[in-house]
A and B are shown apart, each in its own frame.
Chain A
Amino acid sequence: MSAMTTTVLAEDLVKTYGDVTALAGLSLAVPEGSVLGVLGPNGAGKTTTVRVLTTLLRPDSGRAEVAGIDVLAEPREVRRRIGVSGQYAAVDEYLTGRENLEMVGRLYHLGGDSARTRAAELLEQFDLVDAADRPAKTYSGGMRRRLDLAGALVARPPVLFLDEPTTGLDPRSRGDMWDVIRSLVADGATLLLTTQYLEEADQLADNIIVVDHGRVIAEGTADDLKTMVGGERLEVVVTDPAELGRARELLATVATGEITVDAHTRHLTVPCAVGTAPLVEAIRLLDGAGIEVSDIGLRRPTLDDAFLSLTGRETAAEQPTEGEQEVVR
């Protein structure tokens, strides 16, 4: 094993609220200088995990360490080393963007001059210069989000916790945010990031854990998780929805797993073996049966597929309405 140190560590975290178990023995480890993506549906326990690791919440049991420091025993030492951006932007509406960042700088004890300089840098970096001297009350949701994130970076902390950092951002801002995150990591930061966007985890994270019901149900790299789901996917769109049943029966011969049928989009997803043979075979079968196809193709499994097969649910973002989807063995 190399000299890789673990910068963020959680062991067997348990937290209950009355009957609700928010964390049911969750463990994770983030090696120094890497990005861990925490993926999970609503209510999985992502925010609760972040709150424990950032000293905001004491778990009922379990242990947590950040930069080698016990989170429960020495919260203030941990706070010196972390930057946090919570799920809901915590900006002071009555202060301007600049005042918000300067205040955070002073509370990190950077000193007045450095706090001012750093605030100006961040306003520039997060494209908030024009709005810098307006009260944050007048900011749009995305601007608040960026200001909150800038707040997490004020002291250039070596460890960052970002709870859904790009939720509510438009695609361009999201891309900008990804660039910021990549440059932080390039500078050596260790990062734990929760997200609803599988693509985001895929893009940014070195390792991913999938959390559900307060525990980790899968972990690995994005590729590991995709391999876990196995093989490739054959995507077929039939022209006539009435043909869906027949197409499904035919394609069962090339399928290596459950075929998913979406009646609404006339779409079949067929897990299959690697290579082009299943595609050729499928075209031959469908053509032979006279089923007209408006689209057909192969694709590697996405994290959505991984998520679906691990949790038995779609991600929250794209939950289908009841009855539109049936799974056939």
Chain B
Amino acid sequence: MNTFFPDAVVIARRNLIKIKRIPELLVFTTFQPIMFILLFGFVFGAAIDIPGSSYREFLIAGIFAQTVVFGSTITGTALAEDMQKGIIDRFRTLPMSESAVLAGRTFSDLLNNVLVLIVMALTGLAIGWRVRTSLGEALLGFALLLVFAYSLSWVMAYVGLRVRSPEIVANASFIVIFPLTFIANTFVQSEQLPTPLRIFAEWNPVSSVTQAARELFGNIPPGAPEPTTWALQNPIIYTLMWAVAAVAVFAPLALRRYRGAVSR
């Protein structure tokens, strides 16, 4: 009997109840993106000038990307917490599908990111961001952001089960994710960066997902230089390659970790 699907739904539902029970969590996950959009939009948007276009519009896709990447760390901290509190022990003595715990977790975190993207998009629209392509392309842009964040959830699932302390997961991922989202084209055009950083930024998948979203929203400034690397010339394919690779490597690793997990 394969119980993967119903079990994953039970787990995802349980995770969502937690968001409901801790209002602070919901406030944090929705207010923080709003704040980002407003702060970056008004502070940087006023200070940085992109010829022939609004920097604010350029910025939005970058803020979307950064926020969903940060959102994926929830997967790691939540699993570490469940491990610490012995909940994973309880699950592991039940006759349920083992992969369902991880699948349910990554799925509920995906839903969380959907909510965050909706809030951010509405805030963006309110301050003048516009989609200059079609609704279909815009939705494809959002979908790509979500796929990318979902694949990172699996990386974080592995990290969370390995590290076992929610605080350490949060701190460690901050150290990695901060440079990853800043040494990229999220907030500046990568051409403006000094060479070593530029090369990193050009191959950084956070850049490609941002580039793809920006193209799909029609937010590339007119007259912006053509990207010179394959990664940024084919940002959708390049992003999907990263996403598939991350899941292919980290989902089995995380599952193996889960099977051997003990709370202490």
- Give chain A nearest CB distance to B262 CB in angstroms: 6
- Given contacts A56-B262, A86-B89, A94 and B18 within 8 Å (CB-CB): yes
In the complex the two chains form, is B94's CB within 8 Å of A94's CB?
no
**Smallest CB-CB separation from A93: which chain B residue?**
B85
In the complex the two chains form, is B10's CB within 8 Å of A79's CB?
no
> Is A41 an interface residue, CB under 8 A from the partner?
no
CA of A56 to CA of B98, assembled, Å:
12
For A103, list chain B residues within 8 Å (CB): 10, 14
CA of A109 to CA of B95, assembled, Å:
8
In the complex the two chains form, is B86's CB within 8 Å of A57's CB?
no
For A80, list chain B residues within 8 Å (CB): 95
Cross-interface CB contact of A90 among B3, B21, B86, cutoff 8 Å: B86
> Is B126 an interface residue, CB under 8 A from the partner?
no
For A54, list chain B residues within 8 Å (CB): 93
CA of A55 to CA of B95, assembled, Å:
11
CA of A104 to CA of B93, assembled, Å:
10
| Chain A positions 77-92 with a Cβ under 8 Å from a chain B Cβ | 79-80, 82, 84, 86, 88-90, 92
> Range of interface residues on chain B?
20 to 34
For B89, list chain A residues within 8 Å (CB): 56, 86, 90
In the complex the two chains form, is A55's CB within 8 Å of B14's CB?
no
Cross-interface CB contact of B14 among A79, A92, A151, cutoff 8 Å: A92
> Is A25 an interface residue, CB under 8 A from the partner?
no
- Give chain A nearest CB distance to B5 CB in angstroms: 12
In the complex the two chains form, is B86's CB within 8 Å of A82's CB?
no
For A76, list chain B residues within 8 Å (CB): 95
For A56, list chain B residues within 8 Å (CB): 89, 92-93, 262
**Smallest CB-CB separation from B261: which chain A residue?**
A56
- Count contacts between A and B, CB distance < 8 Å: 65
For A109, list chain B residues within 8 Å (CB): 1, 3, 6, 95-96
In the complex the two chains form, is A90's CB within 8 Å of B87's CB?
yes
Report B234-259 CB contacts with A as 1/0, cut-off 8 Å.
00000000000000000000000000
How many positions in chain A have a CB within 8 Å of any CB in the partner chain?
A: 28
In the complex the two chains form, is B21's CB within 8 Å of A107's CB?
no
CA of A192 to CA of B94, assembled, Å:
17
In the complex the two chains form, is A106's CB within 8 Å of B92's CB?
no
**Smallest CB-CB separation from B94: which chain A residue?**
A107
In the complex the two chains form, is A95's CB within 8 Å of B17's CB?
yes
Cross-interface CB contact of A84 among B7, B18, B93, B262, cutoff 8 Å: B93
In the complex the two chains form, is A94's CB within 8 Å of B3's CB?
no
For B10, list chain A residues within 8 Å (CB): 103, 106-107
> Is A142 an interface residue, CB under 8 A from the partner?
no
Cross-interface CB contact of B86 among A88, A95, A106, cutoff 8 Å: A88
In the complex the two chains form, is A108's CB within 8 Å of B95's CB?
yes
> Is B91 an interface residue, CB under 8 A from the partner?
yes
- Give chain A nearest CB distance to B94 CB in angstroms: 5
Report B90-116 CB contacts with A as 1/0, cut-off 8 Å.
111111100000000000000000000
> Is B22 an interface residue, CB under 8 A from the partner?
yes
**Smallest CB-CB separation from A48: which chain B residue?**
B262
| Chain B positions 1-40 with a Cβ under 8 Å from a chain A Cβ | 1, 3, 6-7, 10, 14, 17-18, 21-22
- Given contacts A88-B86, A109-B3, A135-B21, A104 and B262 within 8 Å (CB-CB): no
With A84-B93, A92-B87, A95-B18 given, name 13 new contacts (CB 8 A): A79-B95, A86-B89, A90-B85, A94-B17, A94-B21, A95-B17, A95-B21, A103-B14, A104-B90, A104-B94, A107-B10, A107-B95, A135-B21
4 shortest interchain CB distances as A-B pairs: A90-B86, A90-B90, A79-B95, A94-B18
The interface of chain A, by Cβ under 8 A from chain B, is 51, 54-58, 76, 79-80, 82, 84, 86, 88-90, 92-95, 99, 103-104, 106-109, 135, 151
Could you list 29 A-B pairs, sorted by A, with CB under 8 Å?
Answer: A51-B262, A54-B93, A55-B93, A56-B92, A82-B93, A84-B90, A86-B89, A86-B90, A88-B86, A88-B263, A90-B85, A90-B86, A92-B14, A92-B87, A94-B17, A94-B18, A94-B21, A94-B22, A95-B17, A95-B21, A99-B17, A106-B6, A106-B10, A107-B7, A108-B95, A108-B96, A109-B1, A109-B6, A135-B21
The interface of chain B, by Cβ under 8 A from chain A, is 1, 3, 6-7, 10, 14, 17-18, 21-22, 85-87, 89-96, 260, 262-263
